[in-house]
Amino acid sequence: MKQILNYINGELILPVKRKLMDNENPATGEIYSVCPDSTEEDIQLAVDSAKDAFPKWSELSVESRTKYLWNIADSLEKQIHELAEAETRDTGKPINLSKTVDIPRAAANFRFFAGAALNFSSESHQTGKTIFNYTLRQPLGLVGCISPWNLPIYLFTWKIAPALAVGNCVIGKPSELTPMTAFLLSKICMESGLPAGVLNIVHGRGDKVGSALVNHSDVSAISFTGGTETGRSIAKSVAGKFKKVSLEMGGKNPAIVYPDCNYKKTLSSLLKSSFTNQGQICLCSSRLLIHKSIYDKFKSDFINKVKKLSVGDPLKIESNMGALISEDHLNKVLSYIESAKEDGGKILIGGNPLKLDGRCSNGWFISPTIIDGLKNDCRVNQEEIFGPVVTLIPFSSEEEAIGIANDSQYGLSATIWTQDIEKAHRAAERLDAGIIWINCWLVRDLRTPFGGTKSSGVGREGGSEALQFFTEPKNVCVKIN
Ligand code: NAD
């Protein structure tokens, strides 16, 4: 049984109360490690150690901090095979995805934000001939970074790298469902010589340690990625304390497919945008809006493509899809499929849990599912399912497509598929979402603002947005004579 430990003050330690909880491999149902079930005492230890480390870390030159982050990136790259295997065991995601997306991106996050901090500049304003303003961008102090289970090390490092790069000390809280790669990252930080207390990682449940972190008076800011209801409760908790908060939450992302799209490429891209990571990516397309003139053809071609996806042992390179994160989550996804049936939806393919043979016979698998015949106002089209379930919705005009796409509490991302660039730009302007992709999906340039509108998010991550979030601007006004 592997033992995951908290990383506090540069050391790997058990939680104060010594309570541990089981950690399951979703593809086998096997409990293969134990993880700290930490409490607010552990958060206090992490806060104390971060407070001790902060003055020195924030006073280091940005070049010195950058070197540490680059060393961590190098180690992540060197250990890609071990880390990818650990991520796949912890999440049930296909190994190919862990190797080509999750781990390379974690390394890229450290490398990118180290470079971004080197290039980070602040404003200055001249007022008349004798007055000059310049803006200092100072670290906030201690910040809390809370991340979800779907892209564990990818999203954890997306937060902690910019926070560290600009001189903050961090208390990180990874998801209790997927603690393993954050634990391995703490070992890498120790090997890389990161000074004690600069980064602390406390494992445990959200309602215990997550909320203790959010409510701690010495923590100046919270960067959170996760579900909308959790985000709402964090927003309420911090409101009275006037903490800075960045919330990246759920989505119900539309894809608008026009008849003049590049049909073959669109079909293949939608397969990926619908089912990558078993549909457990906040940016996955879940409502496919298809123009009436190509609806029937698209439906049958899409079903044929989905039939070829192989759901299987995530450690096998040939598996396109692995397991869902837990039995609870599988049941949640299945309950949405039942709700679709009650609302008159037709299951075109999938809709069932899958029993695999051998090693994975007790895992949480489901076949990729396509549903049509549902109105946009039903639960399945309004609530985030976060699984491999998409609906097809026909539309006949641009106006109608934009109306359906925007008829949602969410506003994270949207994709537009057409070769008419004017039409695409018009739609991009009118869609209520923070991220629009035209003729592509999940193409990420780390310099761009990342985040959602409405119930999908508050604030933006990425590039200078992240560096601004993790710093406090202070204007200094100088009068000469
Ligand atoms: P979740 O909200 O259940 O948990 C996210 C994190 O918050 C976990 O670390 C959890 O322990 C912690 N947490 C839970 N309750 C807390 C509390 N009261 N106080 C502080 N922390 C608490 O979300 P999840 O199920 O882990 O992740 C899936 C959700 O994340 C989906 O809704 C998905 O859309 C969203 N997500 C959004 C983005 C984005 O960038 N917008 C990216 C990935 C995932």
User: Does residue 54 sit within a domain?
Assistant: yes
What's the CATH number where 205 sits? 3.40.605.10
d(CA 320, CA 202): 33
Output the residue whose Cα is nearest ligand 1's atom 22: 206
Cα 232 to ligand 1 centre (Å): 11
User: Does residue 339 sit within a domain?
Assistant: yes
Same domain, 41 and 130: yes
| Average pLDDT of the chain to the nearest whole number | 98
Q: Which residue has the tokens 């304390």?
A: 241
User: Does residue 310 sit within a domain?
Assistant: yes
User: Does residue 451 sit within a domain?
Assistant: no
Same domain, 331 and 467: no
Please give the distance of CA 94 from its chain centroid, rounded to a whole number.
Answer: 17
Measuring CA to CA, how many Å separate 241 from each of 18, 137, 217, 229, 320? 31, 22, 8, 19, 45
Q: Is 248 a catalytic residue?
A: yes
Question: Residues lining ligand 1, judged by CB closer than 6 Å?
Answer: 146-150, 155, 173, 175-176, 206-207, 210-211, 214, 225-227, 230, 233-234, 248-251, 282, 384, 386, 412, 452, 457
Ligand 1 pocket test: pick from 230, 245, 458 the residue with the most ligand atoms within 8 Å of its Cβ.
230
Pairing status of strand 30-36 against strand 2-3? parallel
Residue 389's nearest CA partner among 316, 326, 329 is: 329
Same domain, 352 and 436: yes
pLDDT tens-digit series, residues 180-205: 999 999 999 999 999 999 999 999 99
Percent residues over pLDDT 90 in the chain: 100
Q: Is 85 a catalytic residue?
A: no
Same domain, 260 and 211: no
Same domain, 135 and 194: yes
d(CA 283, CA 360): 27
User: Does residue 195 sit within a domain?
Assistant: yes
d(CA 416, CA 436): 8
Same domain, 339 and 377: yes
User: Does residue 72 sit within a domain?
Assistant: yes
Region 372-393 average pLDDT? 98
Same domain, 105 and 147: yes
Output the residue whose Cα is nearest ligand 1's atom 13: 206
Which residues, listed in sequence order, are joined to residue 7 by a DSSP beta bridge? 12, 201
pLDDT tens-digit series, residues 6-21: 999 999 999 999 999 9
Q: How confident is the model at residue 481 (pLDDT cuts 50, 70, 90)?
A: confident
User: Ligand 1, closest atom to CA 148?
Assistant: 26
pLDDT tens-digit series, residues 259-288: 999 999 999 999 999 999 999 999 999 999
User: Does residue 403 sit within a domain?
Assistant: yes
d(CA 176, CA 206): 8
Tell me how crowded residue 338 is: count the other CB atoms within 10 A of its CB: 12
d(CA 356, CA 259): 38
Same domain, 410 and 261: yes
pLDDT tens-digit series, residues 440-476: 999 999 999 999 999 999 999 999 999 999 999 999 9
pLDDT tens-digit series, residues 134-160: 999 999 999 999 999 999 999 999 999
Same domain, 304 and 360: yes
Q: How confident is the model at residue 80 (pLDDT cuts 50, 70, 90)?
A: very high
The answer to whether 467 and 438 are in contact (CB under 8 A) is no
What's the CATH number where 327 sits? 3.40.309.10
Range of the domain at 58: 2-249+456-479
Q: What pTM was estimated for this model as a whole?
A: 0.98
Output the residue whose Cα is nearest ligand 1's atom 32: 227
Same domain, 234 and 294: no
d(CA 114, CA 344): 52
Same domain, 331 and 386: yes
Same domain, 271 and 412: yes
Which residues, listed in sequence order, are joined to residue 472 by a DSSP beta bridge? 138
Question: How many domains does the chain contain in total?
Answer: 2
Output the residue whose Cα is nearest ligand 1's atom 18: 207
User: Ligand 1, closest atom to CA 211?
Assistant: 19
User: Does residue 123 sit within a domain?
Assistant: yes
